[in-house]
Amino acid sequence: MSFKLLIDEIDNNIHKILDDLSVSDILFSVEPAKPGFGDVSSNVSFLLGKHFKKNPKEIADMLSEKYNQLQSTLVSNVESHPSGYLNFFANWEKLNQLILSESNLDYYGSVDLGKNSIIVVEHTSVNPNKALHIGHIRNIVLGDTISRILKKANYKVNVLNYVDDSGLQVADIIVGFRHLGFAQDPPNEKKFDHYCGDDIYVKTTEKYEQDPSLENIRKNILKELEDGTSEIAQFADKITRRVLENQIETCWNLGVYYDCLNFESQIIRSGLWNQIFEKLKEMNLIEFENNGKNIGCWVIRGENNDEDKVLVRSNGTATYIAKDIPYAAWKLGLVNDPFNYEKYDKLQPDNHILWQTTLVPNNNFKQNFIGEKVITVIDSRQDRLQKIITTIMSKFKSKQDVYIHLGYESVTLSADTAKTLGLNTDGKQAQMSGRKGLYVNADSVYDLLKNKTTDEIRRRHPEMSDFEIKQIAHHISVGTLRYEMIKQDLDKMITFDLTKSLSLDGDTAPYIQYAFARASRIIEKSTRIPSIDIDFSLLNDQFEINLIKTIGLFDMHVMDAAKNLSPKVIARYCHDLAVSFNSFYEHVKVIDLGNEKLENSRLCIVNSFKLTLEKALELLGITAPDKM
């Protein structure tokens, strides 16, 4: 609680006044004010004006008069604005102290939305037959950021990555390895996932057009993958594990970690589908078609104008969507867990244990990764299928909102970037396609960013060691990439442009990180240890107050972001913090003032800013270096 204390006080007092007027059931707002309108505003006069059929301004006059007679701790004055708004001015000497003290605590910004309940977040979920491209990164960064925010909102979060290791895309590269003569090891120490995606997958897909007999081979391989016993299946398993390892390296490099890897092949072989199939039949959620175009199939009826969806083909096999249902049910703990768990071969860089499912019996302690609620991060092209799963899950659980599909628009390539990949689009943006080789790999974007930032740092700091430069360049590159992926709303398409993505000015992570580095530098140079044992009355300059106010808004933004599953709220908050600080920095001197008390007071703000920004950036998975 911080700025929220002021808002709560005002909210309570307005309620008291309304009680005196014998008015209830008015849902007025009490919000941080726009610049120039005090510190907090309320629209209560408009709503009350409606109630009493009076001019809002008259009501505001009456309310401000009544309010000023009340006991206030944190409000110094209330004004009625000619527009009808009620504007509150804070007692900053007191609020300064509250906010600055609070911001020094470890849990600053934490809110209790989750009440320590368990929630599953599934993201990434990429076919292990290629390297991660920039489109996958949006999913991964979104999922990771949401997980971090939910943890801050007091949820226990289980992060899952569903590895689709038995689909058609995997079959494709196996065709390449086994029938088109691709060597098992990549040339020139190329990363294995890049080799599989850039070379084998693309070229194998091209060959299908020239040689239709390959289609049959592919079909057979797909079947063997699902059975899982043949030599081919074992070979495929080796290949997909190797690709997966590379993909996970990319994720780890971006600061993304998981709790458990789930393998589609194991879900299929576990027999979970049969349990679910019976349950669907019992609950009359699916129907057997005796005639029509889907004769002989089990279907789920389409809602409003949607077509019926086939779950079980007339030959008795389950379709893609059907396979997703048992997994969704597993995540919610609606089926008996058929899995055992073992540790992933490598330790995650954050030292957090990564588990993976296995069907092989072992003596390990049984892990538990299910949740009372599930969030599945998948792009919005799957809205329709996800809606079917959402409906089924709420019926299984007899509860709404237990399964949440967090959809987002996909990442496309700008016309210029498509051109550099050999596709002329007449100035239009282009959908990425793994099949056609039309994508930008995440690793390459990272490398380009790192080269650029390394040059920049070297230019600014000729004295720095290569090791230090590389470390800083890493944080800036990861920050830049992550920030670009979440700063806009989920329903907005991201048009990725290689050149523009390398921009480090303006509304970017480096801008924010730079503000942090400036703060670090002030504290370092002052040679004093920041403390909250200061004279708060000295902090009354508009730039100081504005910065403290922004620091005080942290928890409210965390709440907003968690409630609405909207990570961009935190991105914008970090940017706001940096803007407030940069403005402060340009106008207010901190060290060498010849006034020890004032210097201590200002140093306290700088330190609070630094601590708060660090926590907020952590929610975005971004690290701010002390120098850059």
Partner RNA sequence: GGGCUGGUAGCUCAGCUUGGAUAGAGUGCUGGACUUCUAAUCCAGUGGUCAAGGGAUCGAAGCCCUUCCGGCCCGCCA
List the interface residues with RNA, window 215-244 (CB under 7 A).
222
Q: Can you tell me which of 49, 109, 326, 621 binds RNA, judged by CB under 7 A?
A: 49
| Binders of RNA in range 588-617 (CB under 7 A) | 588-591
CB 542, CB 587: distance < 8 Å: no
Q: Can you tell me which of 409, 468, 614, 618 binds RNA, judged by CB under 7 A?
A: 409
CB 462, CB 456: distance < 8 Å: no
| Alpha carbon distance 92, 23 (integer Å) | 31
- Judged by beta carbon, residue 43 or residue 367, the one nearer RNA is 43
Quick note: the x/- pattern for RNA over 246-285, rule CB under 7 A, is ----------------------------------------
**What is the 3-state secondary structure of 570-614?**
HHHHHHHHHHHHHHHHHHCCCCCCCCHHHHHHHHHHHHHHHHHHH
**Is residue 253 classed exposed, middle or buried when 0-12, 13-18 and 19+ CB atoms within 10 A define those classes?**
middle
| Alpha carbon distance 252, 84 (integer Å) | 53
| Alpha carbon distance 6, 13 (integer Å) | 11
Quick note: the x/- pattern for RNA over 440-469, rule CB under 7 A, is -------------x--xx--x---------
**3-class DSSP state of 20:** helix
Nearest distance in Å: CB 154, RNA: 19
| Alpha carbon distance 234, 247 (integer Å) | 20
Q: Can you tell me which of 204, 265, 294, 623 binds RNA, judged by CB under 7 A?
A: 294
Q: Can you tell me which of 16, 54, 238, 428 binds RNA, judged by CB under 7 A?
A: 428
| Binders of RNA in range 552-571 (CB under 7 A) | 560, 564, 568
| Binders of RNA in range 474-513 (CB under 7 A) | 476, 487-489, 491-495, 504-507, 510-511
Q: Tell me if 298 contacts RNA by CB under 7 A.
A: no
Q: Can you tell me which of 108, 330, 585, 609 binds RNA, judged by CB under 7 A?
A: 585
- What CA–CA distances, in Å, run from 360 to 226, 238, 340, 357? 17, 16, 7, 9
Q: Tell me if 352 contacts RNA by CB under 7 A.
A: no
CA atoms within 13 A on the CB side of 98: 17
Nearest distance in Å: CB 365, RNA: 32
Q: Can you tell me which of 14, 18, 33, 404 binds RNA, judged by CB under 7 A?
A: 33
Q: Can you tell me which of 13, 64, 87, 356 binds RNA, judged by CB under 7 A?
A: 87
- List all residues 6 or more positions away from 127 whose beta carbon is below 8 Å from its beta carbon: 164, 165, 167, 169, 170
Nearest distance in Å: CB 64, RNA: 12
For the beta sheet containing 86-90, the strands, ordered from the edge strand earlier in sequence to the opposite edge, are: 30-32, 40-42, 86-90, 75-80
Nearest distance in Å: CB 299, RNA: 8
Q: Tell me if 1 contacts RNA by CB under 7 A.
A: no
**Is residue 389 classed exposed, middle or buried when 0-12, 13-18 and 19+ CB atoms within 10 A define those classes?**
buried
Q: Can you tell me which of 313, 397, 450, 470 binds RNA, judged by CB under 7 A?
A: 313
- Judged by beta carbon, residue 128 or residue 371, the one nearer RNA is 128
Nearest distance in Å: CB 321, RNA: 7
Nearest distance in Å: CB 81, RNA: 4
